[in-house]
Every structure is written in C-alpha cells, then in structure tokens.
Amino acid sequence: MSTNVENTSRVNRQFLLLSRPIGDIKESDFEYKEAPVPTPNPGEALVRNLYLSLDPTNRIWMSDMVQYMPPVELGEVMRGVAIGVVEESKNPFLKSGDIVTGLLGWQDYALLKENQANFVTKINPPLPDPLFAAVGLLGVTGVTAYFGLLDIGQPKPGETVVVSAAAGAVGSVVGQIAKIKGCRVVGITSSDEKCQWLTSVGFDAAINYKTTDLNTALANACPNGVDIYFDNVGGTILDTVMLHLNLFARIPLCGLISTYNSTEPVPGPLNFGLILMKRLRIQGFIVSDYHNRWHEAIKDIGEWMKLGKIKQEYEIVEGLEKAPKEILKLFNANKIGKLIIKVA
C-alpha cells in the first residue's frame, strides 16, 4: 500500500480530541498539533478548509454516549462540518478548485481517501453569497430547521408553534419558516436582547425563561395552546411546554442541549403521561436522514432568502486557533444565530 508523501513546506494545524469532557467542555479537552500537509495518492484529494461550523452536536461526538455515529476517538482530529476548496485532486469525482462541504474536521487541510469522496458535497455554481451560508442557512442549519419543522411538525396555517433555543442557529430559522407557513410563533430564549432580536425577525412573541415564570408566560403567549413544539433543549423546558400542548400536537426533537454537559443522569419528562392523554407525536431526527432530499430544502430556502422572508445572524470568528474557546459559547447562552470559524 502506498503512503502519502508529506509536503514539509506547509503546516497543517489540527486540534485533536485529548479527553472526553466531564460536564462542560474545557479548552484542555483539545490538543493542538502541527503536521505536514500530505500529498494525495491516486484516488485521493486534498481540501483546504475555509470555514468551520461550530455546533452543539460537537459535544455529542466528543462523548462516548450512545449516538447516531461513532464518537471521535481520543487522539483523532476533532470532527466538524467545514467548507473547503480542493487544492489538489487525484480523484475522478473532484477537481482542483471545487468547493465542497462535509466532515472535514478541525484542521487547515483534510485528506480525502479514495472511499471518502462521497462523504463531501460539491457546491456547484452559483456559489452562495456569502460562502459561509453553505454551513448555515443554505447548509446543515437551514436543512435541519426545514425538515424538522415541515416533515415532522407539519405546520398548518393558524397553528401555534413554540421553539426552544429560539435565538440559536436552527431555532431562529424554524421560527421564520413557521411564519412563512402562516403560523403564530413563540420563541423561548435566555435574555431580553435575544427576545428583542427574535421579534425583529418575525416571531410573534419571545419569552426569557431566565427572568419569568415559563408556565405563566406560555399561557399568555399561547392562548389557544401549542400545536407544534420544536425542541432543541429537553429538560425542564420540555416538561413545561408539554402542559400547553393541544391534542395531537407534534414535537420534532432536534436536540437536548440542556443535558449534554450533565454529570448525573437526567430525569425523563415528568409529564410523560401527557403523551398518551393528549395523543402527542414525538419524533427525533438527524439531518442526515434527509440526505437524498437536501436539494428540496436548499431550493425553497434560497427562494425565501431572495424574497427577504428569511435570514440568519452569523458570528464569524477569525482563526482556527480560537475554536476550542469559541465552542463554549454554544453552552453558555452567549451568542445569537450561527457560530462559524474563518479558517483561511
């Protein structure tokens, strides 16, 4: 078997997973490494990363919990979705200059083995403007919101939709799509600033769960009950929203971010019996479930963007070296919208 000849004139900065977090992620859970940039063998391609997406699912991949794909092994490059440009290719499906997105990792350069070319998605012209939207509104974030709400939530005009982590990357898009579909939309978030931002992008109401009684606030904001609850957090917020769900309400379960850093077992919903009594439908989903329908979401979201019906707030942080610190923002409620690292 041939081995890759390393290009010692360039450096590939990488962050490896050094330890599995206990509780909150710490910067010390990562190890910085500099490696030579490899030269691709026949069938391989070298991708230079441009933008790296930081997502709550990074925390899942760092753990050894039961999950939807194998966890990142200790000593491996930290997994992450990125946008990159093909710098050199000996693969028939990719050529130099192609823009691709996929699990390219926390590094400057990703070497795609012969059997990995299908693991990335080629972004064909016209390219998104801005390009980083390919990991945001026109990428994993937007597609997650689209299928979770429309395929599982199945909103109807006049229904009430509640979204948790509503000022986050996915939640903020869910709310805007629900408005496009004619729904009343209420967001749950963690600050007055975020509440103001949510109403500025079209939410009918927003609740700061840290400064108000959530049960009372939901009763006021949702006088006709709740038909769809798009859940990103789980925990006590899920329990409280369940009290307000209507008969046959739907819960697309996108995330459980309130539990990811827990060091003790997290109790299940205390109001579990309401699933039976109200005939609720709860369905978990992973965006990769919709890989073959990805184009449907991109087409519709692209059209809504052109019409000014949907937008996303981005926080772009320059420098790969900042990734281990910046990812902490996902879990301390210190951001609005989508968090992206500008690698190059």
Q: Are residues 74 and 89 in the same domain?
A: yes
Q: Is residue 304 part of a domain?
A: no
The predicted structure's pLDDT at residue 2: 42
Instruction: Name the pTM for this structure.
Output: 0.93
Q: Are residues 119 and 240 in the same domain?
A: no
Per-residue pLDDT tens, the chain, 344 aa: give them: 344 545 445 899 999 999 999 999 999 999 999 999 999 999 999 999 999 999 999 999 999 988 999 999 999 999 999 999 999 999 999 999 999 999 999 999 999 998 887 779 999 899 999 999 999 999 999 999 999 999 999 999 999 999 999 999 999 999 999 999 999 999 999 999 999 999 999 999 999 999 999 999 999 999 999 999 999 999 999 999 999 999 999 999 999 998 888 888 777 789 999 999 999 999 999 999 999 999 999 999 999 999 999 999 999 999 999 999 999 999 987 789 999 999 98
Domain count for the chain: 2
Cis preceding linkage at 130, omega within 30: yes
Q: Are residues 96 and 29 in the same domain?
A: yes
Q: Are residues 105 and 154 in the same domain?
A: no
Of 247, 272, 288, the domain-final residue: 288
Q: Are residues 271 and 325 in the same domain?
A: no
Q: Is residue 308 part of a domain?
A: no
Structure tokens at 285: 């989903």
Q: Are residues 243 and 130 in the same domain?
A: no
CB 152 within 8 Å of CB 252:
yes
User: What range defines the domain where residue 93 resides?
Assistant: 6-136+313-342
Q: Is residue 301 part of a domain?
A: no
- Provide the strand spans (E) within the chain: 6-17, 30-38, 45-53, 81-89, 99-103, 109-112, 120-122, 160-163, 184-189, 205-208, 226-230, 245-253, 281-284, 314-318, 338-342
Query: What's the CATH code of the domain at 38?
Result: 3.90.180.10
Q: Are residues 57 and 170 in the same domain?
A: no
Residues 223, 225, 228, CA angle at the centre, nearest 5°?
Answer: 135
The predicted structure's pLDDT at residue 98: 97
Q: Are residues 260 and 196 in the same domain?
A: yes
The predicted structure's pLDDT at residue 147: 98
The predicted structure's pLDDT at residue 218: 98
Query: What's the CATH code of the domain at 266?
Result: 3.40.50.720
The predicted structure's pLDDT at residue 115: 82
Q: Are residues 121 and 151 in the same domain?
A: no
